[in-house]
Structure 1
Amino acid sequence: MGETFSQQGSWKGESKPLLSPNPAMSSRASSYASTCVPWEEAAGGSFVTCPTCQGSGEIPRELEKQLVALIPYGDQRLKPRHTKRFVFLAMLTCLVTSTCIIFFLFPRSVAVQPTGLNSSTVAFDKADIHLNLTNVLNISNRNYYPITVTQLAIEVLHLSLVVGQVSKRLLLPVGPLASEQVFYTVSSRLEDENTYKICTWLKIKVHHVLLHIQGTLTCSYLSHSEQLVFQSYEYVDCRGNSTGAPLLAPLPP
């Protein structure tokens, strides 16, 4: 009897822990147990799937944003396929796009070319000559975007003196890589005595007057305004190009 009792007592002693419990380890174990519990124990609470338990447990919902999920180094998500190819294609696309933008939006020159006299009328008074000149101006847009001609200013000079001027506002659109023509008329008054004799004397066979025409053309594009300067020299027949304007004074023989 005493031997049997001693065996039972030794069996009960084996169930006791050999080491004294560590408070730190017990708190850490309780903390782990509170953050990741089996499915069957967490079924009734507010829990979400544990990201690091491989689907075998859940964590409290209030701690969802405080936990960090660890991804193994050999996970395929850390080694995407064709990375170099995607990076190369992205760089090539950016390079081609920027090159095209620079090529098409780079500002090019707008050419302004006077084409000469289109028509003229002449009239005389006692000492002056009145000329009405209609000239043509060619405008060539060399850009890949449209421009708008907004203003034209013209001065006519004879013997370094301004004899006529005109300024007019325009709203002329010029398309990409296109050309347009502008007609403008300037009224001039020549008061030089020698020029008056050249234009009125019948004994003189050549009735030409040299005029210096200079002007500025204002155009706008891409929210930018630019002034273009041009000039030309024209010989005007102050008698032969007359279109029947009345002579206010008789011509000398």
Structure 2
Amino acid sequence: MQLWLETTKLRETVHCPTCDGTGRIPRGQESKLVAVIPCSDQRLRPRHTKLYVAGSVGLCLLACGLVLFFLFPRAVTLSPVAFKSSYVYFTDDSVQINITNLFNITNNNFLAVQAYNLKIQAINFEVVVGTVSIKNVASVKPLSNQMVSFMIPINVTDPGLSNYCKKTSLPVHILYVHLQISMAVYYLAHNEQLSLEAYEYIDCGSNSTKAHNLHPQAP
């Protein structure tokens, strides 16, 4: 019976063409052989594959989110702070006033901001009485404020207003000035134009170093 079973097995099998049934292969043919692995072999289904893929995708999304969070453009604001001082000079037919003001630049970005091309117009009763232009203003650090000081030369040539400022009988000579301010900023590879309007009052008859707040234009 056993001999019959062995004979049957021999009939159903063939010799390995590379090893001739010896279980060994000739030396030098290792690189020419191909191993056939069944689809059900666990080696084709490594553990934690889904975990590795999900972790890689999660890390990529986190990195993209952090880049967008830190590089997303945020607002840069320009706001008035205070009147600092004024110095008055009388001429025969005019009044020259040098006004120094402070304003604040707020940078809400995670990168530095370059402020440039500051332009200010001083207007009194719809008449431009002074202008100033500054090319390089300041470099504002990330998430910080920068205080900037500027001086505006105002020339009052109207005869009535000039006489009013020169009157010695008046204790105070109030002159209201409307400031129109514009400034360009550069950050995150793009430019932005900022504008601001504010009102202030000064004594056009004498020097003043008494600081007071500027009043932004009502919305």
Normalised TM-score (structure 1): 0.68
Give the alignment's Cα RMSD to 1 decimal: 2.3
1:187 partner amino acid:
P
- Work out which of the residue numbers 64, 67, 84 in structure 1 matches 2:50: 84
> Which structure 2 residue ranges, 5 or more long, are not aligned?
1-16, 210-219
Q: What's the counterpart of residue 207 of structure 1? A: 173
Asked if 1:169 is matched to 2:135, the reply is yes
- Work out which of the residue numbers 69, 72, 76 in structure 2 matches 1:103: 69
> 1-side partners of 2:30 and 2:50: how far apart?
37
> 2-side partners of 1:162 and 1:73: how far apart?
87
- Preserved CA contact (<8 Å) 2:87 2:206: no
> 2-side partners of 1:161 and 1:48: how far apart?
97
Regions of 4+ moved over 4 Å:
36-39
Q: What's the counterpart of residue 188 of structure 1? A: 154
Task: Find the residue that maps to 1:49 and give its secondary structure.
Answer: helix
- Work out which of the residue numbers 29, 43, 50 in structure 1 matches 2:32: 50
Higher RCO (C-alpha under 8 Å, 6+ residues apart): 2
> Which structure 1 residue ranges, 5 or more long, are not aligned?
1-32, 55-69, 244-253
Cα deviation code 1:74-116 (max 9, x no counterpart): 2333212112222222232222222222222111111211212
Deviation at 1:212, TM superposition (A): 0.7
Q: What's the counterpart of residue 226 of structure 1? A: 192
> 2-side partners of 1:137 and 1:116: how far apart?
7
Task: Find the residue that maps to 1:170 and give its secondary structure.
Answer: strand
Larger Rg: 1
> 2-side partners of 1:89 and 1:162: how far apart?
64
Q: What's the counterpart of residue 130 of structure 1? A: 96
> 2-side partners of 1:77 and 1:192: how far apart?
95
Task: Name which of structure 1's ranges 70-79 and 214-223 shifts more when overlaid on structure 2.
Answer: 70-79
> 2-side partners of 1:207 and 1:105: how far apart?
50
- Preserved CA contact (<8 Å) 2:167 2:205: no
> 2-side partners of 1:48 and 1:176: how far apart?
63
**Greater fraction of residues in strand:** 2
Q: How many residues align?
A: 190
Task: Find the residue that maps to 2:186 and give its secondary structure.
Answer: strand
- Preserved CA contact (<8 Å) 2:179 2:198: yes
Amino-acid identity (%) = 34
Matches within 5 A, 1:65-76: 70-76=36-42
Q: What's the counterpart of residue 65 of structure 1? A: none
Task: Find the residue that maps to 2:46 and give its secondary structure.
Answer: coil
